[in-house]
A and B are shown apart, each in its own frame.
Chain A
Amino acid sequence: MLKTIIEKEVRELISSSRFAIAMSVCAVLIILSFVSGAQEYHAAQRQYEAAKAENLRQVSGVTDWLMVRHNRIFLPPDPVAAVVTGVSNDIGRTVEVSGRGELSAEDTRFEGEPLFAVFRFLDLEFVFGFVLSLLAILLGYDAVCGEKERGTLRLVFSNAVPRATFVFGKLLGALAGLIPVLVIPLLLGCLVLVVMRIPMAAVDWVRLAFVIATGLLFVVVVVAVAVMVSAVTHRSSHAFLALLVIWVFAVFVVPRTAVLLAGRAVDVPSVDKLAAEKAAYSRQLWQQSREQLASFTPTKTDDVGQMMKEFQQTMEKQSDERDKNMQELSGRLNESRANGQRIQAGWAFALARLSPLASFTLAATALAATDLKMKDRFEDEAYAYQTDYARFMKAKTGMVPGAGMIIMKMKHGGEEEPKPVDPRELPEMQHRKPPLAGAVTAALPNVGLLMIWGLGAFAGAFIAFLRYDLR
């Protein structure tokens, strides 16, 4: 009996013109999202290579490592991030590393190309979250009430059809019709990545597969909600209107309101406020340094070289102290801000999860490693690099740069012309994607929520249909 209903649903669905139109739109958008993602990846890769080359070029003109003032590191583009952009275009992709002090990522994708910030990118998250959810509603809104309106429900239930079987058949039939038709363009999209030579590692494919599976789970949830609403209402126009309102709330209102409410509920000191506090403390430390420098007395006044050496040592000692003090304050302020942000994000996400879309977005971005933690990960890598860089510079120059020191090099006659430094000696930033297991673990609660949403909606459809007026 269930098989009969499922077969009928699939046959009815795929023979309808609205299905053909909706699925054509889906197929085009899905493939387009892969194509545009691949193009974006290549563009970002070119930009990344050019930026790295320019950084090395600037270093290559220098004859002493002490003169290297601007060493920058760049966040390399990620193939999976090209199809699930997440926050990857909103975070800074460049960090200037001086050897000490605070680091901050700058130069976001949208800074360089603000046009893209207007409408954002057509990525898989958008296609699943906005387009497919709407089309799933379009295909499922009249699953039950449409049969009542058309008069077929009475004829169906003149047979020995259990209500549970019918509503389950409706849901499974809609999914059996929908999912294979979605999987085909998704597979074609994967083929696009291969054809366009996107360097996807095995783990990237696994990540992408998980993202797609989560997206399909989200579609299942939307279909289940659509069937539930259609089993509550008696007119398809009412069901469509109700689902449209639910969609608007789920897609736009709930996530944004959650962020707004969390922002109001948890006070997080602004970056400007922190910067002002840090600047004030820095001024105070510099003032102390200047006062100490004023009382600098070399042990020997007849040996300029020795005098300069002592001066530099004093300067470096002061720099280290300033740096230590600044790090302490910055650490304290940053930690306080990070804690506030964590609490804020926790509240925002908890509230936003009232919408299945938020759960899907959080799961997909966690799997693609383009979630909020992307910024933290890049900054952690930048700090790790700064340690390596400081060690490298110490070995090369005997001191750690970035203290605002004035370097004086005395050239004596007869000395050889200095050779330019080899920029290839500079340490490389070690960029590692978060491990897949960690990404899956981070995504699991949201995937679980999506499952609960799906089961809840189905249970709701079932309960509603138990009381449905079949006449």
Chain B
Amino acid sequence: MAEINQPIPYLEAVNLTKRYEDGLLALDHVSFSVFPGQIYAMLGANGAGKTTTINLFLNLIEPSEGEARINGTVTHRDPLVAKSQVAFVSENVMLYGGFTAVQNLEFFARLGGKRHYTRGDLRDILLRVGLPSEAHDKRVRGYSKGMRQKCGIAIAILKDTPAILLDEPTSGLDPKAGWEFTQLLGSLRQEGKAVLMSTHDIFRAKEVADVVAIMNQGRLIMERSAAQVAQLDLQQLYMDHMAGRAELSATEV
């Protein structure tokens, strides 16, 4: 009965492995789960495998072994169903420069099968992510990175999916925008979304995540709950892992 009551993870990696044609092992048997209302932060240096993990969830690449599942659907077996249940915000949100923010949102809403939004709804979402109304009808070409990130987050919100993938979403955001983003993540958690976030930002990870994981050279080498993380000097631990000083066994994961 206990197993039956166990909530189904919205995002799940099972022995997820990616070896490229040139032999590079980008991801090495990574397993984790992100449950509804949970924010899962993946920390790691460049090349650690964070973006590869997200690309596998988005089926932009196919796994060499293992599976990525979104709400129980294996992404590489049924990518369209899987992707209809996940939203994505990249490190550097790139939009159609000739379109306004509203037009971009309109397009991506329709692409995500959400045709019911009015322009007023779209403006409300843009306001919610902190994009001032005077910017809504300006071409995105002239936007700062922060403004584009906000649009990207708005696109993820309007898709209204159970799971959200964030690939270093706060990269390049100013402190105010970063704070607003943290608040937004909190509200997404309240709505029961499962959020997988890759980040370099140790402090934000500690601040918002329910689970913090550290990745290195394609392997998930540490996974801690928020309560455990609160007891740790996460920065020191992270630096130790990066420098190879920490001796953690696979069982810690």
**A residues with CB within 8 A of B:** 1, 4-5, 8, 11-12, 15-16, 150-152, 154-162, 469-471
Show 10 residue pairs from A and B whose CB-CB distance is below 8 angstroms, ordered by the A residue. Answer: A1-B111, A15-B99, A151-B94, A154-B60, A155-B95, A156-B111, A158-B58, A158-B87, A160-B84, A471-B55
Shortest beta-carbon distance, B203 to chain A, in Å? 27
**Which residues of B have CB within 8 Å of A158?**
58, 83, 86-88, 165
Q: Give 4 closest A-B pairs by Cβ, nearest first.
A: A151-B94, A158-B88, A160-B80, A160-B84
- A150 near B88 with CB under 8 A, answer no
Task: Say whether B98 faces chain A, with CB atoms less than 8 Å apart.
Answer: yes
**Which residues of A have CB within 8 Å of B92?**
151
- Nearest A residue to B112 via CB reads A159
Q: Which one of A16, A150, A155, A160 lies within 8 Å of B81 (CB-CB)? A: A160
Task: Say whether B152 faces chain A, with CB atoms less than 8 Å apart.
Answer: yes
- A12 near B60 with CB under 8 A, answer no
**Which residues of B have CB within 8 Å of A157?**
58, 60, 83
- B96 near A471 with CB under 8 A, answer no
Q: In whole angstroms, how far apart are the Cα atoms of A158 and B98 in the complex?
A: 21
**Which residues of B have CB within 8 Å of A160?**
79-81, 83-84, 112-113
Chain A contact residues, majority secondary structure = loop
Task: Say whether B93 faces chain A, with CB atoms less than 8 Å apart.
Answer: yes
**Which residues of A have CB within 8 Å of B55?**
471
Task: Say whether B110 faces chain A, with CB atoms less than 8 Å apart.
Answer: yes
Q: In whole angstroms, how far apart are the Cα atoms of A15 and B141 in the complex?
A: 13
Q: In whole angstroms, how far apart are the Cα atoms of A312 and B88 in the complex?
A: 102
**Which residues of B have CB within 8 Å of A12?**
96, 98-99
Task: Say whether B107 faces chain A, with CB atoms less than 8 Å apart.
Answer: yes
- Nearest B residue to A149 via CB reads B94
**Which residues of B have CB within 8 Å of A150?**
94, 97
**Which residues of B have CB within 8 Å of A11?**
99, 103
**Which residues of A have CB within 8 Å of B110?**
4
Task: Say whether B61 faces chain A, with CB atoms less than 8 Å apart.
Answer: yes
Also in contact, A152 and B80, with CB within 8 A (given A1-B111, A158-B58, A160-B113): no
Q: In whole angstroms, how far apart are the Cα atoms of A12 and B97 in the complex?
A: 9
* Per-residue contact bits, chain B 31-73, to A (CB 8 Å; 1 contact, 0 not): 0000000000000000000000001001011000000000000
**Which residues of B have CB within 8 Å of A154?**
58, 60, 88, 90, 94
Q: In whole angstroms, how far apart are the Cα atoms of A4 and B88 in the complex?
A: 19
Q: Which one of A5, A155, A470 lies within 8 Å of B152 (CB-CB)? A: A155
* Per-residue contact bits, chain B 99-123, to A (CB 8 Å; 1 contact, 0 not): 1000100011011110000000000
- A152 near B60 with CB under 8 A, answer no
Task: Say whether B197 faces chain A, with CB atoms less than 8 Å apart.
Answer: no
Given contacts A155-B155, A158-B88, 13 further A-B contacts (CB under 8 A): A4-B107, A8-B107, A11-B103, A16-B98, A151-B92, A151-B93, A154-B88, A155-B90, A158-B58, A158-B87, A159-B108, A160-B81, A160-B83
Q: In whole angstroms, how far apart are the Cα atoms of A4 and B96 in the complex?
A: 14
- Nearest A residue to B167 via CB reads A154
Shortest beta-carbon distance, A146 to chain B, in Å? 11
The residue in B80, B95, B111 that gathers the most chain A C-beta atoms within 10 A of its C-beta is B111
- Nearest A residue to B88 via CB reads A158
The residue in A4, A15, A151, A159 that gathers the most chain B C-beta atoms within 10 A of its C-beta is A159
Q: In whole angstroms, how far apart are the Cα atoms of A16 and B99 in the complex?
A: 10
**Which residues of A have CB within 8 Å of B98?**
12, 15-16
Q: Which one of A15, A152, A159, A469 lies within 8 Å of B94 (CB-CB)? A: A152
Shortest beta-carbon distance, A216 to chain B, in Å? 26
Shortest beta-carbon distance, B216 to chain A, in Å? 21
* Per-residue contact bits, chain B 192-214, to A (CB 8 Å; 1 contact, 0 not): 00000000000000000000000
Q: In whole angstroms, how far apart are the Cα atoms of A162 and B113 in the complex?
A: 13
Q: In whole angstroms, how far apart are the Cα atoms of A8 and B111 in the complex?
A: 10
Also in contact, A155 and B112, with CB within 8 A (given A160-B80, A160-B81, A471-B61): no
**Which residues of B have CB within 8 Å of A471?**
55, 60-61
Q: In whole angstroms, how far apart are the Cα atoms of A469 and B99 in the complex?
A: 25
- A470 near B99 with CB under 8 A, answer no
**Which residues of A have CB within 8 Å of B79?**
160
- Nearest B residue to A162 via CB reads B80
**Which residues of A have CB within 8 Å of B81?**
160
Q: In whole angstroms, how far apart are the Cα atoms of A385 and B113 in the complex?
A: 71
Q: In whole angstroms, how far apart are the Cα atoms of A151 and B58 in the complex?
A: 15
- Nearest A residue to B115 via CB reads A4
**Which residues of B have CB within 8 Å of A15?**
98-99
**Which residues of A have CB within 8 Å of B103?**
11
- A155 near B60 with CB under 8 A, answer no
Also in contact, A155 and B80, with CB within 8 A (given A11-B99, A150-B97, A471-B55): no
